[in-house]
Amino acid sequence: MLILLVDDNEMSRAVLKKILEISGYETVCASDGDEGLMLARQHRPDLVISDIMMPLSDGYQFCRNMRMDPTLKDTPFVFYSAAFTSAKDVDFAYDLGATRFIQKPQSPKKILELVEELLSSRTESRFDGPPSESLMEPSFLKLHSQRVIQKLEEKVAELEQTHAFLETVLDSMAEGLIVISKDYTVLDANYAACTLLKLSKEEIVGKNCYNLLHGLQKPCSAATAVCPFPHVFEEGRATETTYTHTIPCEGHILEVVASPVRDSKDKITCMVQIIRDVTERTKLEEEVNNRIKELEDFYDASVEKELRLIELEKYVENIKNKKPQPEG
């Protein structure tokens, strides 16, 4: 039995593939509906399991194309989705001819039970056949657009909420935070960074970091500070440095921890810097060190004085104990 898996999420595909192959099923995989249709025509699978939200051709389009193809229209088709799960999403899936609709994630046991059930009874379907209106282009385009647009609107709303939450969290940090791209451009800054640098967010974002922080016209590899760029972007590791010559914070000492930010493909896209004003701490450390040095000097002087007193006492004792010489 050959099962076609269609999902743009590589990890999701791999997990499903592992579950099925351990149970003795053969699998073939695709990352979108267009590739899925090509593989379906090539391999004629016994069952299709497909996600809905995918690039290029999504699951709804893929299912419609399967049902419009005379050689594939009877293939059991299972939607396996985590995003399109509302009642209208599910109804539209069945209107297009889906055999089953299951919501991600599911336990391996339930997935295997469903696969076994569908493969042992391939004629099973919720409907005798999907309404032809749903497959026809005008109706399909209208209904498909409604489902996709609504989902995109939901995703945009979720992203806006997430963005607002993250901004609140970042602005609540005591430390300054700035994000810098590979071309030295400041991409973002939190409230603490703006306060520390005595600049508005609009005055920070979009500026080159070497000009903003050090007043230089080119990257600060030749400046007195150790630039974290080579460590972060070339070596891919976090680094810590101290700036004492920043323009907005003249006279201040800034401790900077820079770390790489990676995307889903482990590629470094930008650098995030956590900035702390350690001027007062450094002054206190210097004061403590100076005090310790004074105490050490005082101790050394006291010891030397005591040694001299001991030597003087010995000298006086020797004089007292010295016998007078007989006269000639």
* CA–CA separation, 203 and 186 (whole Å): 10
Q: In Å, how far from its chain's centre is CA 107?
A: 27
Give the range of the structural domain holding residue 264, as residue numbers without chain letter: 173-281
Residue 88: both structure tokens together:
């209208």
Q: Which of 278, 279, 248, 275 is nearest to 180 (CA)?
A: 275
Whether residues 152 and 181 fall in one domain: no
Does 241 fall in a domain?
yes
Could you tell me the maximum CA-CA distance found in the chain, to the nearest angstrom?
A: 148
Count up the domains in the chain and report the number: 2
pLDDT for residue 264: 79
Strand positions, DSSP E, 132-253: 176-181, 186-189, 239-243
pLDDT for residue 324: 61
The CATH number of whichever domain residue 25 belongs to comes to 3.40.50.2300
Task: Note the pTM of the prediction, 2 decimals.
Answer: 0.54
Whether residues 9 and 96 fall in one domain: yes
Q: Mind listing the pLDDT tens digit of every residue in the chain (328 residues)?
A: 899 999 999 999 999 999 999 999 999 999 999 999 999 999 999 999 999 989 888 999 999 999 989 899 889 999 999 888 889 899 899 988 899 999 998 999 999 999 999 988 765 444 445 555 666 667 777 778 878 887 777 777 778 887 788 888 888 888 889 999 999 999 999 999 898 888 899 999 999 888 887 777 888 764 555 688 888 888 888 888 877 666 666 677 788 888 999 987 889 999 999 888 877 777 777 788 888 888 888 887 887 888 888 888 787 777 777 656 566 5
Q: In what order do the strands lie in the sheet with 186-189?
A: 186-189, 176-181, 268-277, 254-262, 239-243
Quick one: 299 exposed, middle or buried, by C-beta within 10 A (0-12, 13-18, 19+)?
exposed
Whether residues 193 and 256 fall in one domain: yes
Beta-strand relationship, 100-103 and 186-189: unpaired
The SS3 assignment for 118 reads: helix
Whether residues 128 and 193 fall in one domain: no
Quick one: 291 exposed, middle or buried, by C-beta within 10 A (0-12, 13-18, 19+)?
exposed
Whether residues 213 and 103 fall in one domain: no
Whether residues 36 and 122 fall in one domain: yes
Q: In Å, how far from its chain's centre is CA 15?
A: 22
Whether residues 54 and 190 fall in one domain: no
Whether residues 131 and 182 fall in one domain: no
Does 216 fall in a domain?
yes
